[in-house]
A and B are shown apart, each in its own frame.
Chain A
Amino acid sequence: MGGGLVRIGVTVFPGSNCDRDALYAIERMGEEPVELWHAEADLKGVDAVIVPGGFSYGDYLRPGAIARFANVMGPLEDFGREGGPILGVCNGFQVLCEAHLLPGALLQNRHMRFVCDRVRVRVETANTPWTAGFEGGEGLTLPVAHNEGNYFAAGETLARLEDEGRVVFRYLDNPNGSVNDIAGVCNEGRNVVGIMPHPERVSDPALGSDEGLKILRSVMVGAGV
């Protein structure tokens, strides 16, 4: 790639509500944000994709269950299987699990309350395009806002995730009952990452912090920019 702008796509479904934040965060990094409308089966040649938070299709049936069949998802699934960097945030994480781009599922929070807070997470591995700017082991403070953030994977899948170092983010203070305090995981190819907290919501000191930018900036490190 070398030197050019990184073009980062953000999918927009009916009910997405963090798409603008993600586009803003990308712009703040001096990169080119590209909206990817759900009805168009076209990734517009982007270098990476963020599937943002929100309540796509009203979270009807299960969060992410309907969005997973939107037109944009066909090329997105191909992109992910070919190694393209994808970051699913919150509802985006749920969408990627429903699409089987990531293992496991996000259940209702154990205490059955919507959780809206800031939480501490630890970056467990630098070996993904979205954490390449870290060394691994660093703490981050990120906002969470979800009702179904309780990560679950069956025994064998969970053991594999742990053994293969595919737990990417872990809560230091588990807000939702997630198994093994998991806040984010990656796929086998390590290019698709899902995270429940919202890095794009801390992308400007005016919002209290820009710690989240480091995650979004990592993908540029990976792209050689």
Chain B
Amino acid sequence: MPETLKIRVLVRPKEGILDPQGEAVRGALPALGFEGVRTVHIGRLIEMEVESADEVDAMCRRLLSNPTIEEYEWEVVS
């Protein structure tokens, strides 16, 4: 059996890109009484199990993120 690697990919809007979801949540927090929230940005967490990490970066570039508007980072969790 090939080994199984757990990969965690984090995709988020690039700095300066409009993030309507983040803005909405930032607006909602004070409405619940949570003060002092200056910015909120919302991204996406992708967890995968793979046999090799060799192509994870290519997966991130070609499908998991859109480099025009998003940046990504990934790590081997275990």
Contact = CB atoms under 8 A, between A and B. Distances in A.
Interface in B34-78: 63-64, 66, 68-69
B18 A65 contact: no
A62 interface: yes
B63 A150 contact: no
A107 B64 contact: no
A150 B20 CA distance: 11
A105 B69 contact: yes
Nearest to B65: A62
B24 interface: yes
Contact of A108 (B21, B63, B64, B68): B21
Interface in B12-38: 17-18, 20-21, 24
Interface in A92-106: 97-98, 104-105
Contacts, number: 34
Interface string A52-74: 00000000011001000100000
Contacts of B24: 112
Nearest to B18: A107
Interface residues of A, number: 19
A177 B64 contact: no
Contacts of A1: none
A108 to B, nearest CB: 5
B63 A112 contact: no
Given A107-B69, A112-B24, A152-B69, A69 B18 contact: no
Contacts of A98: 66
A28 interface: no
Interface of B: 17-18, 20-21, 24, 63-64, 66, 68-69
Interface of A: 61-62, 65, 69, 97-98, 104-105, 107-112, 150, 152-154, 177
